[in-house]
Amino acid sequence: MKKLTTLLTAGLLGGAMAISPAHADDMRIALVVKALGIGFFEAAAKGAEEAAAELGGVEIIYTGPTDTTAEGQIEVINSLIAQKVDAIAISANDQDALVPALKKAMNRGITVISWDSGVAPEGRQMHLNPSSNPLIGNMIVKMAADHLPDGGDVAVLSASATATNQNIWIEEMNKVVGNYEGINVVATVYGDDLSDKSYREAQGLMSSHPDLKAIIAPTSVGIVAAAQAVSDAGKAGEILVTGLGLPSEMAAHVDSGASKSFAIWNPIDLGYAATMISYNLAKGEATAAAGGEIGMGRLGAVQLSDSLDGAMADPFVYDASNINDFKEIF
Amino acid sequence: MSSFKFSRDVLLAFALVALVALVYTRFPEFASVKSLSGVFNDTSILIILALGQMAVILTRCIDLSMASNLALVGMCTAMLNAAIPALPIPLLVVIAMLLGALLGCINGLLVWKLDIPPIVVTLGTLTIFRGIIFLISDGQWVNAHEMSPAFKALPRAHFLGLPVLSWFAIVSILGMFVLLTRTAQGRALYAVGGHPNAAVYTGINVGRTRFNAFVLSGALSGVAGYLWVSRYAVAYVDIAAGFELDVVAACVIGGISIAGGIGSVAGAVLGALFLGVIKNALPVVNISPFWQQAISGSAIIIAVIFNARSERRVGRIILKKAEQV
C-alpha cells in the first residue's frame, strides 16, 4: 500500500510537472529506473531528492517503465527528450537497445549518464558503478577482521566454482588479506547458490575447522544459508557470518546474532551520487574524460577509467544499527 | 525370491556402512552418533520425496515435477504465513499436504484420463509450477524475518531426542511401509508396474492406481515444501532447483526398477541415505568441487549397473497363487 501511494504520488508529481514546467532557471534531472515500484530504486530516488535539496534549484523527475523492459525505457526516454530535461541518469534494462534513444538525447544537449546497470559507452557520457571488485574484495575480509581483533581462521563460502564475479572478488580478497593481521583464510567452498548445498557446506566448514571464527559468503543465497546453519548449530555469535547480502534477506540473521555485519550497495547513496554527477556535468563544472574526476558531494569524487566508468565507494555496511531502516527497502 | 530382495537391501546397507567407514578414515568425527543423526535429519526431505517417487515409479511412471511442486507449495506456505502469522502451523502443514496433493492430482489426471506419457506430463508441470511461483511471488523472496517464529521452529523442535524434521521422515517411512505391504492399494501399485495387462485381469484399474500414486507423491512433496522452506528459512523461485534428479537417483540407487514393479521402502530409504551420506561427507573430506559431482554421478551409475544385472536374473511374480495352480 505504501508502495502504491509512493507510486501514485510520483505519477502525480510527474504529471504536474509536465503540465506546468517549473521555474525556467531550475535544472531538471531525470532519474530513470529499471521499473517503478522496486524498493531499491525508490530508495535511490530518496537519495536523488537529498542531493537536489543540497544543491538547490534542482528538480528530480523519478520515472521508469512499469515493468523491466528496454522498450518501456525507450518510451520514457523519448518523453523526457520532448520535455527537454537537462540530464538523464539511467539504470538500464538493456545495455545496447537504449543506445539510439540516448544518443538522440545527447544530440539535443541532454547530459546522459548510466548508473547501477550500465549502457554501452557510446550511449552515455559516463557510467557509475556502485563499487569495484578491489573495493568489494577488501570490504568482505575487512568486515570479518573488524570483529576479530585477535585474528583467527576464516573460510569463504562462494556460489559455484565457475562463477566469474565470485572468483574475482575472492581473488581480490586474497590479495589484501595480508593487511589484516592474524586473519587466516583456511578454506574456500562452493554452495552453488543452492540453499541446501550452501547449508551443508557451512556445516562442513564448522565441523572440519573447529577453530573457525568467521564465514565470508559474497553471495546472497550463501550468506543466508550460512547464517541459518550457524544459528541452527547454536554457534550464533561464536562464528561470525559476513559477506554480501540484502538487508531484507539478512534482517532475521542480524537479529539472531549470527551475522554482525554484511555489505551491499547503498541505493540512497547511489541515487545521490548519480544526481550530483548529472548536475556537475550538465552545469559544465566537470567533463567526462578518461582519468578525470567528477564531484559527488558528500561522497567525494569519482575517478573515471579509460572506458569512462567509475566506482562510487566501498560497499555500504549494514548492521544492527541500520538494518531496520533498510529491510523494508530492498 | 524374497531372500533375494532381502539380500539386495542388506547389501545396500553394507555399502552404506562401508561408505561411512571410508569417510571415518578421513574424518573420524563423521561417524559420531550426533553427526550421523544430523545426516539423517538433513536427508529427511530427500527420504520423504524418494518414498513418493517410489510409489510412482512402481507403477511404471515417473514424477519429475516433485521439486517444483515442493517449491511452489513451499512458497505458498511461506506467503500464507507472512500474510496470516496467526494461522496455526499444524493447519499450515495440512494445507501444504492438500495443496501438494492437488498438484499431484493434475499430473495424475493427465496421465490417467488423457493417457499422456508421465515423463512428458511431469516435464511440463515441472516448468509450469516454477512459472507459477514466479507469478505469485513476483520474483521476490520471502525472508526469515517475515516468517513467524513458530513457522521456523517446528522442524527444529526436539521430540524424544530427534528433531521433528526427522520424525516427519520416520512417520512417512512407517506409513509407506504399511501401505505397500499391508494394503490392497499397495499391492496394486506393484501389480500395475509389474504387468499392467495382468493387473487389469485381476480387476485393478491401472489408470486410477497411477493417479493415486501421483496424488501420494504430490502430497509428500507438499509436506516437504513446508519443511524445506522452514528449514532454510527462505523461499524464492529457485529453491530445490534440480532436486527431482536427486530424488530419482535415490530411488535408482535403492534398487527401485525404472521399469516398474520392483522396489521396497527399505531400498528407497537406503538409497536416499546413501546420497545423503555422500552429500554430507564431501564437504568434510575436502574434495575439489569438480570431483564432487563426478563422485555422486558414479555412485548412481554403479547402482544402476548392479540393478540391471540383478533384474535380469530374477523376474517378479506378482500372483504366487495363480502360478501354483
Q: How far apart are CA A258 and CA A224, in angstroms?
A: 10
Residue A24: partners with Cβ closer than 8 Å, 6 or more residues away: none
Q: How far apart are CA A290 and CA A37, in angstroms?
A: 35
Same domain, A8 and A119: yes
Same domain, A26 and A121: yes
**Which CATH number goes with the domain that contains A26?**
3.40.50.2300
pLDDT at B322: 56
Same domain, A119 and A150: no
The answer as to whether A325 is a domain residue is no
Contact across the interface for A232 and B156, Cβ inside 8 Å: yes
The answer as to whether A36 is a domain residue is yes
The answer as to whether B1 is a domain residue is no
Provide, as residue numbers in chain A, all residues whose Cβ is less than 8 Å from the Cβ of B291: none
The answer as to whether B148 is a domain residue is yes
Provide, as residue numbers in chain A, all residues whose Cβ is less than 8 Å from the Cβ of B35: 207
Read off the C-alpha cell for A21: 514546467
Read off the C-alpha cell for B126: 515441472
Same domain, A249 and A206: yes
Q: How far apart are CA B251 and CA B47, in angstroms?
A: 9
**Helices marked H in chain A:** 2-19, 39-55, 70-82, 99-107, 133-146, 164-176, 195-208, 220-232, 247-255, 267-283, 323-326
The answer as to whether B120 is a domain residue is yes
Q: How confident is the model at residue A276 (pLDDT cuts 50, 70, 90)?
A: very high
pTM of the prediction?
Answer: 0.81
Classify strands A58-63 and A316-319 as parallel, antiparallel or unpaired.
Answer: unpaired
Interface test mutation site (partner B, options A195, A223, A327, max chain B beta carbons within 10 A):
A195
Same domain, A110 and A8: yes
Mean pLDDT, rounded, for A166-183: 91
Q: B286 to chain A nearest CA, in Å?
A: 9
Domain of A141? Answer: 133-263
- What 3-state class would DSSP assign to A185? strand
The answer as to whether A167 is a domain residue is yes
Contact across the interface for A204 and B284, Cβ inside 8 Å: yes
pLDDT at B311: 61
Contact across the interface for B284 and A224, Cβ inside 8 Å: no
Identify which of B293, B247, B323, B199 has the alpha carbon closest to the alpha carbon of residue B54.
B247
Using a CB–CB cut-off of 8 Å, the residues of A that contact B are: 160-161, 187, 189-190, 193-197, 199-201, 203-205, 207-208, 224-225, 228, 232, 248-249, 251-253, 255, 327
Angle between helices B89-113 and B206-232 (to 10 degrees): 150
B26 to chain A: closest CA residue:
A208
Q: A99 to chain B nearest CA, in Å?
A: 28
The answer as to whether B223 is a domain residue is yes
The answer as to whether A320 is a domain residue is no
The answer as to whether B13 is a domain residue is no
- What 3-state class would DSSP assign to A29? strand
Same domain, A167 and A60: no
Return mean pLDDT, chain A: 87
Q: What residues of chain B score a pLDDT lower than 50?
A: 1-4, 325
Classify strands B162-163 and B158-159 as parallel, antiparallel or unpaired.
Answer: antiparallel
Burial class (CB in 10 A: 0-12, 13-18, 19+), B268: buried
- DSSP letter for A180, please: S
Provide, as residue numbers in chain A, all residues whose Cβ is less than 8 Å from the Cβ of B163: none
Q: What would the pLDDT profile of A218-273 be if each residue is shown by its tens digit? A: 988 899 999 999 999 999 989 999 999 989 999 999 999 999 999 998 889 999 99
Same domain, A274 and A241: no
Identify which of A55, A63, A90, A69 has the alpha carbon closest to the alpha carbon of residue A9.
A63
B241 to chain A: closest CA residue:
A194
Whether the Cβ atoms of residue B248 and residue B62 lie closer than 8 Å to each other = yes
The answer as to whether A69 is a domain residue is yes
> What is the total count of domains within chain A?
2
Same domain, A100 and A155: no
Q: B7 to chain A nearest CA, in Å?
A: 32
**Which CATH number goes with the domain that contains B200?**
1.10.3470
A221 to chain B: closest CA residue:
B234
The answer as to whether A328 is a domain residue is no
pLDDT at A42: 87
Angle at A91 between CA A86 and CA A97, to 5 degrees: 95
- DSSP letter for B144, please: G
A330 to chain B: closest CA residue:
B140
Residue A1 has pLDDT above 70, yes or no: no
Percent of chain A with pLDDT over 70: 92
Provide, as residue numbers in chain A, all residues whose Cβ is less than 8 Å from the Cβ of B228: 195-196
Interface test mutation site (partner A, options B154, B156, B230, B284, max chain A beta carbons within 10 A):
B284
Identify which of B37, B105, B52, B91 has the alpha carbon closest to the alpha carbon of residue B256.
B52
Residue A174 has pLDDT above 90, yes or no: yes
Residue A189 phi/psi, 5° resolution? -120, 165
Identify which of B231, B64, B53, B37 has the alpha carbon closest to the alpha carbon of residue B152.
B231
pLDDT at A292: 86
- What 3-state class would DSSP assign to A19? helix
pLDDT at B308: 67
Burial class (CB in 10 A: 0-12, 13-18, 19+), A107: exposed
Provide, as residue numbers in chain B, all residues whose Cβ is less than 8 Å from the Cβ of A248: 141, 143, 145
Long-range residue pairs from B242-247, CB within 8 A, at least 24 positions apart, any chain: B242/A194, B242/B67, B243/A196, B243/B46, B243/B49, B243/B66, B243/B67, B243/B70, B244/B63, B244/B64, B244/B65, B244/B66, B244/B67, B244/B68, B244/B126, B246/B46, B246/B275, B247/B46, B247/B49, B247/B50, B247/B53, B247/B66, B247/B67
Q: Give the Å distances, CA to CA, from B61 to A172, A219, B22, B64, B269.
A: 50, 38, 35, 10, 19
pLDDT at B296: 77
A256 to chain B: closest CA residue:
B145
Provide, as residue numbers in chain B, all residues whose Cβ is less than 8 Å from the Cβ of A34: none
The answer as to whether B82 is a domain residue is yes
Angle at A91 between CA A283 and CA A318, to 5 degrees: 100
Whether the Cβ atoms of residue A87 and residue A110 lie closer than 8 Å to each other = yes
Domain of B50? Answer: 44-316
Q: What would the pLDDT profile of A184-227 be if each residue is shown by its tens digit? A: 999 999 998 889 999 999 999 999 999 999 999 998 889 999 99
Q: How far apart are CA A190 and CA A158, in angstroms?
A: 5
Contact across the interface for B286 and A208, Cβ inside 8 Å: yes
pLDDT at A166: 87
Q: What would the pLDDT profile of B16-56 be if each residue is shown by its tens digit? A: 898 899 889 988 989 999 999 999 999 999 999 999 999 99
Q: Give the Å distances, CA to CA, from B219 to A61, B70, B144.
A: 51, 9, 25
The answer as to whether B27 is a domain residue is no
The answer as to whether A324 is a domain residue is no
The answer as to whether B206 is a domain residue is yes
B146 to chain A: closest CA residue:
A252
> What is the total count of domains within chain B?
1
The answer as to whether A279 is a domain residue is yes
Amino acid at B27: F
Q: What would the pLDDT profile of A12-41 be if each residue is shown by its tens digit? A: 444 444 444 445 568 999 999 988 877 788
